């Protein structure tokens, strides 16, 4: 089974639609030891086909529009954060304390881009200053597993480097392996929720769909910016005391609106938003939102027919089910960093492909859930995990042909526009089908500046 066949099956797609997909294969796109290009193409392809399917249904088309995949567009979009320019300035992807460090017995990777994570990392190690040399010296005296456990216990983020063999015998790896790539659950609440017909151009499959975006960092925001590209009204809601990193917002906030709400003090406003939402996407660690009554079942009971999409790093199960995580940490734990590195130093994929790939798969699952809801009326909960995508990459995808067209750089898939944040250069979306949109309707606005209401 090819990557696109597997991804399309994972989101519940009809295999008879796969011949609608064509691909421009480009040699040199996302080069790696692992089949990253095939994973990226499969995830984007499943998303584009799900969009074309929903668009055809809503527009009353006789057949699903043709999907066009281009390795160049996909490779460019999978590193969209690296191509972003804001008034000519390139963002900094990782903070100084977010990287690999030598330990007494190996390596550990930390993630400290956010101030609260940085503070917890330093506190766990008894360090009072944000100095890389001081942190490096402290880590060098400890074992990797000791650092991993102590930092996580303090609410920070650090993961010991593991080989594929070491990860394979870990309890979390076993729990992940037992799960499908995309988990589907029918929520036992239903309502009449047919979306209105579409006409005009471009074809926007998600037009009129209201998406409440409760995600952060890359994977979830990539999913919701894709839904925004396809016409959805996406409102991202963040807690006011945890501002998003400015450059990250500029990259993944395109097409959306952004508001802040305190889920306790502003509860009535949030419930008004939920009462009119079609989709809720969450990206916080499993269980983190349950105390606010935001489990999938509780959401569905208050909003029958709702589609809930949940994203996590490690999955909502197993001994690491409640842990925070990011793409770089999942690569480190699951053996990817060891595969892509050398005897001297761990490596990394050419893109944060677990984040981006899972994001497009999440959007595909939401689009297919909208199609199925139109037929049956029932809400759905779909769940994805970066660690499960990592298992797919390392164990199931076969490398494909190199292609006879060279990937000669990103320029053909970059564009510029002015907005509230300044002059932006950014990557176009790789999600493309005949008659569909080729860019977002709006640039990103100022984080948290929009009113917390639907258009």
The DSSP element (H or E) to which 331 belongs, if any, is helix 327-333
Q: Dihedral sign, CA of 150, 130, 244, 262?
A: positive
**Cut 0.95: pTM above it:** yes
Q: Which domains does the chain have, with CATH numbers?
A: 3-91+174-318+349-427 (3.40.50.10540)
Q: Which letter does DSSP use for residue 291 in this model?
A: G
Among 150, 205, 183, CA closest to 384: 183
Q: Dihedral sign, CA of 165, 171, 143, 341?
A: positive
What is the spatial distance between Cα 76 and Cα 155, in angstroms, rounded to a whole number? Answer: 34
Contact present, 224 and 256 (Cβ < 8 Å): yes
What is the spatial distance between Cα 255 and Cα 444, in angstroms, rounded to a whole number? Answer: 6
Task: Supply the pLDDT for residue 345.
Answer: 95
Q: From first to last of its 455 residues, what are the pLDDT tens digits of the chain?
A: 899 999 999 999 999 999 999 999 999 999 999 999 999 999 999 999 999 999 999 999 999 999 999 999 999 999 999 999 999 999 877 788 999 999 999 999 999 888 889 999 999 999 988 889 999 999 999 999 999 999 999 999 999 999 999 999 999 999 999 999 999 999 877 676 778 899 889 999 999 999 999 999 899 999 999 999 999 999 999 999 888 888 999 999 999 999 999 999 999 999 999 999 999 999 988 888 888 888 988 998 899 999 999 999 999 999 999 899 999 999 999 999 999 999 889 999 999 999 999 999 999 999 999 999 988 888 999 999 999 999 999 998 988 888 889 999 999 999 999 999 999 999 999 999 999 999 999 999 999 999 999 98
355 in active site:
yes
Q: Which letter does DSSP use for residue 433 in this model?
A: B
Task: Supply the pLDDT for residue 192.
Answer: 66
Would you state the structure tokens that stand for residue 128, as one six-digit string?
Answer: 């009072």
Q: Considering the candidates 355, 408, 411, 439, report the single residue annotated as catalytic.
A: 355
**CB under 8 Å, gap of 24 or more: what pairs does 239-245 form?**
239/263, 240/448, 242/114, 242/116, 243/447, 243/448, 244/216, 244/447, 245/113, 245/114
What is the spatial distance between Cα 5 and Cα 286, in angstroms, rounded to a whole number? Answer: 29
């Amino acid at each position: 089974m090819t990557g696109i066949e597997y991804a399309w099956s994972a989101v519940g797609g009809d295999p008879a639609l796969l011949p609608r997909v064509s691909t421009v294969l480009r040699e040199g796109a996302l080069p790696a030891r692992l089949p990253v290009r095939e994973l990226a193409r499969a995830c984007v392809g499943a998303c584009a086909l799900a969009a074309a399917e929903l668009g055809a249904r809503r527009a009353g088309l006789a057949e699903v529009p043709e999907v066009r995949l281009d390795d160049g567009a996909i490779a460019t979009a999978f590193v969209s954060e690296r191509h972003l320019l804001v008034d000519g300035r390139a963002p900094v992807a990782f903070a100084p304390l977010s990287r690999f460090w030598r330990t007494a017995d190996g390596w550990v990777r930390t993630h400290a881009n956010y101030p609260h994570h940085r503070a917890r990392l330093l506190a766990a190690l008894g360090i009072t200053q944000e100095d890389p040399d001081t942190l490096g010296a402290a880590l060098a005296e400890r074992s990797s597993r000791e650092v991993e456990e102590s930092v996580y216990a303090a609410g920070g983020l650090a993961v010991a480097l593991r080989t594929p063999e070491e990860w394979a015998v870990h309890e979390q790896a076993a729990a992940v392996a037992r799960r499908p790539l995309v988990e589907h659950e029918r929520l036992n609440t239903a309502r009449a929720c047919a979306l209105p017909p579409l006409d005009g151009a471009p074809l926007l499959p998600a037009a009129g769909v209201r998406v409440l975006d409760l995600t952060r960092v890359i994977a979830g925001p990539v999913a919701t910016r894709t839904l925004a590209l396809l016409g959805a009204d996406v409102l991202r809601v963040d807690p006011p005391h945890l501002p998003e990193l400015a450059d990250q917002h500029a990259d993944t906030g395109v097409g959306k609106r952004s508001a802040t709400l305190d889920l306790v003090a502003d509860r009535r406003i949030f419930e008004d938003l939920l009462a009119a939402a079609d989709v809720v996407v969450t990206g916080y660690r499993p269980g983190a939102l349950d105390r606010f009554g935001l489990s999938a079942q509780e959401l569905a009971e208050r909003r029958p027919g709702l589609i809930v999409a949940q994203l996590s790093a490690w999955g909502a199960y197993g001994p690491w089910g409640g842990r925070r995580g990011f793409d770089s940490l999942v690569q480190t734990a699951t053996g990817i960093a060891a595969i892509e590195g050398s005897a001297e130093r761990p490596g990394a994929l050419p893109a944060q492909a677990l984040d981006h790939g899972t994001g497009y798969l999440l959007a595909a699952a939401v689009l297919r859930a909208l199609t199925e809801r139109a037929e049956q009326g029932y809400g759905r909960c779909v769940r994805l995990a970066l660690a499960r995508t990592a298992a797919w990459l390392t164990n199931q995808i076969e490398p494909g042909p190199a292609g006879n067209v060279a990937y000669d750089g990103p320029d053909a898939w970059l564009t510029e526009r002015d907005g509230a944040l300044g002059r932006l250069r950014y990557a176009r979306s790789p999600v493309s089908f005949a008659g569909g949109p080729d860019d977002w309707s709006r640039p990103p606005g100022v984080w948290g500046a929009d009113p917390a209401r639907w258009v």
